[in-house]
Chains A and B, each alone.
Chain A
Amino acid sequence: MSDRIDVRKTYKLYIGGAFPRSESAYSYEVKDSKGKFVANAALASRKDARDAVIAARKAFGSWSGKTAYNRAQILYRIAEVMEDRRPQFVQAVVQSEGLSPTKAEKVVDAAIDRLVWYAGWADKITQVVGNANPVAGPFFNLSTPEPTGVVTVLAPQESSLLGLVSVVAPVIVTGNTVVVVSSYDRPLPAVNLAEVLATSDVPGGVVNILTGSAATIAPWLAAHMDVNAIDLTGIAGDAGLATDLEVAAADNLKRVRRAPAAEPDWTTDPGLEPMTTFLEIKTVWHPIGV
């Protein structure tokens, strides 16, 4: 008998907790770092992007309404499930980024550790960026952060796993929901992450992952009136597209995290900015008296 034929995977989108093919029925070839065919990934369309926004909006109320303690546990749970599937992620990073298995393991470890780091922020960010304000009058006056809403994230093109986790985790840990466009050339870790999310405790619609071209889909997301913010990290270095997307984002005054000149070093301390960019400060006044 011949050797066993392996069962290959069909890579799909992740929208609203389900794994649909692209509505367009288009897919594209994913190649490894040496140019060898690996798989066909779904090529997300404008309609898929809009469906993802609808799913993200639907999930926003209950996700933002969860207690910070609960969100922390759910983010930690993602790390747990990732740890469980470590070999799969290592392989995906090896295939996508052409790293040696040893280096790929370090990347996966860093991605898991980053999730654990962000998990801990869920119930601390309010204390760090919130305030009691000593106004000059008999008033109780408190400022607290709240999620901005539905956030579009253009994930980094180079760092397909650590970069991806580094832009998604800060958005959701603060209570936003997200539509992610993954790295075009390196989508496999994103699809693996989607499978982790689906089997973790993250409610459907909180994270929606589109594989495909940011240049094609992002203009629709940047102009979408039900998207509240956009992270342009994934188009680092493409100043022309970044400008176009910022102009489109002005239509409903989306909060914009600008595109860097080059992809950042994802191994450094992220600081608070990836979280605070997608937070609003709400100030509540009440008179004090009897």
Chain B
Amino acid sequence: MATTPFEYAPAPESRSIVDIKPSYGLFVNGEFVDGHGKSFKTISPSTEEVLAEIAEADEADVDAAVRAARKAYDKVWSRMPGRERAKYLYRIARIIQERSRELAVLESIDNGKPIKESRDVDIPIVAAHFFYYAGWADKLEYAGRGTDPQPLGVAGQIIPWNFPLLMLAWKIAPALACGNTVVLKPAETTPLTALLFAEICQQADLPPGVVNIITGAGGTGQALVGHPGIDKVAFTGSTDVGKAIARTVAGTDKKVTLELGGKAANIVFDDAPLDQAVEGIVTGIFFNQGHVCCAGSRLLVQESIADELLAKLKRRMSTLRIGDPLDKNTDIGAINSAEQLARIRELSDIGEAEGAGRWSPECELPSHGFWFPPTLFTGVTQAHRIAREEIFGPVLSVLTFRTPAEAVEKANNTPYGLSAGVWTEKGSLILHMANQLRAGVVWANTFNKFDPTSPFGGFKESGYGREGGRHGLEAYLK
């Protein structure tokens, strides 16, 4: 009998659907314009191939974008009846659906995430966000925030590289629905889908200045946050930058929402359906290469089933396919940047040096690009840095517990409070844990689920404010 495991032939998605220009300007007042700053390159993290030259917006560019947004706010967007704003958002949602394959391929090329995630998760939820918030635009007086809710003005929005287009949708859709205009800065390493979104705004005939996209790095973001012409700051990213933003806006009238880091506990009780739990653990930490702020990076497993669960988990991890993001069979794509890869390596090495047991399945990594194998650490204690610091990569720390009280204690022993997972067949235990866990999202017998109708956001140092759902409107209304 042959014992070779079943293997899939490569099944790459075609790149030909995407037309990447050699260079991109800034999208200000409805048009692409040259920036005044330097330019930088965006590369494919899976091949290190240079994809395009991107403009870096300087202070003058930021100022021009904010002025364009202010003008559009005063003259057009805030005065437009909600039902008309809604139609623009519906148009955008439809165009995103029509161009979904192109968006998915471009996202995977620029970000490194597997096509099956960009195609089946990111882009459909992006479209869903525009549909959902489009429907709020003419119903704001029913949102529970008084009979005459008003927009804030110009929103400065800064988004991370892990879900480039999804984070754009989370920020832009509710802002526009409420009558605000926006200046959005995508992450330095993943600007391409935001720039394609700018083209979509043009296709939708969105009035000039309602959406402005300015590319750049930290300096551009600082100029945007500090600009006196914005009324609202929305940021998703690291806790350190979130704190810096909170300091910058102190003493101003700017309203702020921050979606920051996490160190989620994924808690498995001894009566949990183990095969499902293993899938949930894999989704929790290896989805999107672990580049997920709400990733289940701390596995808390009840001691009595730890060995059995770990055996199953290792077997499952051995089947994960790592490699070409455009291959439809790929489970784990490329790490987004050399810097991020260095951080994952550094913290993993520290985990080993501090005495935790490191394990990865045997796997060949491509010779070019940024790659890190799915990794788990056993024998982790709460004092280990890998149990305390956000790694933002495919690295799982495994801890054990004996009682529900101990699980709660360990799960909550973190400055973060973004998400948590609970696996058990006992309903009362799920509800008890959901009550006790200090986290903004609790996934029970599932993990890493997102929906535009469902509010998302953190407790404690995971930031403040909620995105999604009716609660997401609060960030953009007064």
Which residue of B144, B453, B459 is within 8 Å of A280 (Cβ)? B459
Query: Beta-carbon contacts of B419-443 to A below 8 Å, as 1s and 0s?
Result: 0000000000010001000011111
User: In whole Å, how far is B351's beta carbon from the nearest beta carbon of chain A?
Assistant: 26
Q: Are B440's CB and A287's CB within 8 A? A: no
Chain A, Cβ-Cβ closest to B253: A258
Q: Are A282's CB and B441's CB within 8 A? A: yes
Separation of A284 and B440 alpha carbons in the complex (Å): 8
A contact residues, range: 20 to 34
Q: Are A287's CB and B445's CB within 8 A? A: yes
Query: Beta-carbon contacts of A252-290 to B below 8 Å, as 1s and 0s?
Result: 110100000000000000010000000011111111000
Chain B, Cβ-Cβ closest to A61: B436
Of B38-46, B57-65, B242-250, the segment with at least 4 beta carbons within 8 Å of chain A is B242-250
User: In whole Å, how far is B332's beta carbon from the nearest beta carbon of chain A?
Assistant: 24
Task: Say whether A250 faces chain B, with CB atoms less than 8 Å apart.
Answer: yes
Q: Are A285's CB and B246's CB within 8 A? A: no
Contact partners of A148 in chain B: CB under 8 A: 459
Which residue of B250, B442, B456, B461 is within 8 Å of A284 (Cβ)? B442
Separation of A281 and B469 alpha carbons in the complex (Å): 11
Separation of A271 and B478 alpha carbons in the complex (Å): 13
Separation of A283 and B459 alpha carbons in the complex (Å): 11
Query: Beta-carbon contacts of B243-287 to A below 8 Å, as 1s and 0s?
Result: 110110111000000101000000000000000000000000000
Chain B, Cβ-Cβ closest to A128: B144
Q: Are A143's CB and B246's CB within 8 A? A: no
Separation of A228 and B461 alpha carbons in the complex (Å): 9
Which residue of B243, B250, B441, B463 is within 8 Å of A285 (Cβ)? B441
A131-B471, A284-B434 in contact; A141/B461 too (CB < 8 A)? no
Chain B, Cβ-Cβ closest to A64: B435
User: In whole Å, how far is A15's beta carbon from the nearest beta carbon of chain B?
Assistant: 24
Separation of A23 and B302 alpha carbons in the complex (Å): 46
A253-B242, A285-B444 in contact; A133/B460 too (CB < 8 A)? no
Interface centre among A131, A134, A252, A286 (most CB of B within 10 A): A286
> A residues 134-181 with Cβ under 8 Å of B?
134-137, 139, 141, 143, 148
Interface centre among A128, A247, A255 (most CB of B within 10 A): A247
Task: Say whether A243 faces chain B, with CB atoms less than 8 Å apart.
Answer: yes
Separation of A243 and B146 alpha carbons in the complex (Å): 29
Contact partners of B434 in chain A: CB under 8 A: 282, 284
Contact partners of B144 in chain A: CB under 8 A: 128-129
Separation of A143 and B461 alpha carbons in the complex (Å): 20
Task: Say whether A29 faces chain B, with CB atoms less than 8 Å apart.
Answer: no
Contact partners of A131 in chain B: CB under 8 A: 455, 469-471
Chain B, Cβ-Cβ closest to A276: B474
Chain B, Cβ-Cβ closest to A246: B250
Q: Are B461's CB and A253's CB within 8 A? A: yes
Contact partners of B449 in chain A: CB under 8 A: 135, 137, 139, 285
Separation of A246 and B144 alpha carbons in the complex (Å): 28
Separation of A99 and B456 alpha carbons in the complex (Å): 48
Q: Are B246's CB and A253's CB within 8 A? A: yes
> A residues 41-98 with Cβ under 8 Å of B?
none
Task: Say whether A239 faces chain B, with CB atoms less than 8 Å apart.
Answer: yes
Task: Say whether B128 faces chain A, with CB atoms less than 8 Å apart.
Answer: yes
Contact partners of B443 in chain A: CB under 8 A: 284-285
Contact partners of A252 in chain B: CB under 8 A: 415, 460-461
Contact partners of A246 in chain B: CB under 8 A: 246-247, 249-251
Which residue of B244, B430, B440, B446 is within 8 Å of A283 (Cβ)? B440
User: In whole Å, how far is A227's beta carbon from the nearest beta carbon of chain B?
Assistant: 11
Separation of A271 and B148 alpha carbons in the complex (Å): 14
Task: Say whether A13 faces chain B, with CB atoms less than 8 Å apart.
Answer: no
> B residues 130-150 with Cβ under 8 Å of A?
144, 146
Task: Say whether B464 faces chain A, with CB atoms less than 8 Å apart.
Answer: yes
Q: Are B247's CB and A250's CB within 8 A? A: yes
Task: Say whether B349 faces chain A, with CB atoms less than 8 Å apart.
Answer: no
Task: Say whether B457 faces chain A, with CB atoms less than 8 Å apart.
Answer: yes
Chain B, Cβ-Cβ closest to A282: B440
Separation of A280 and B457 alpha carbons in the complex (Å): 9
Separation of A72 and B288 alpha carbons in the complex (Å): 45
Separation of A281 and B459 alpha carbons in the complex (Å): 8
Task: Say whether B466 faces chain A, with CB atoms less than 8 Å apart.
Answer: yes
Q: Are B242's CB and A283's CB within 8 A? A: no
Task: Say whether A198 faces chain B, with CB atoms less than 8 Å apart.
Answer: no
Query: Beta-carbon contacts of A211-242 to B below 8 Å, as 1s and 0s?
Result: 00000000000000000100000000001001
- Which 8 pairs show the lowest CB-CB distances between chains A and B? A243-B251, A246-B250, A250-B246, A135-B451, A133-B454, A286-B444, A133-B453, A247-B250
B residues bordering A, Cβ < 8 Å?
128, 144, 146, 239, 242-244, 246-247, 249-251, 258, 260, 415, 430, 434, 439-446, 449, 451, 453-457, 459-461, 463-464, 466, 469-471
Known: A252-B461, A253-B460, A253-B464. 4 other contacts (CB 8 A): A252-B415, A280-B459, A284-B443, A285-B442
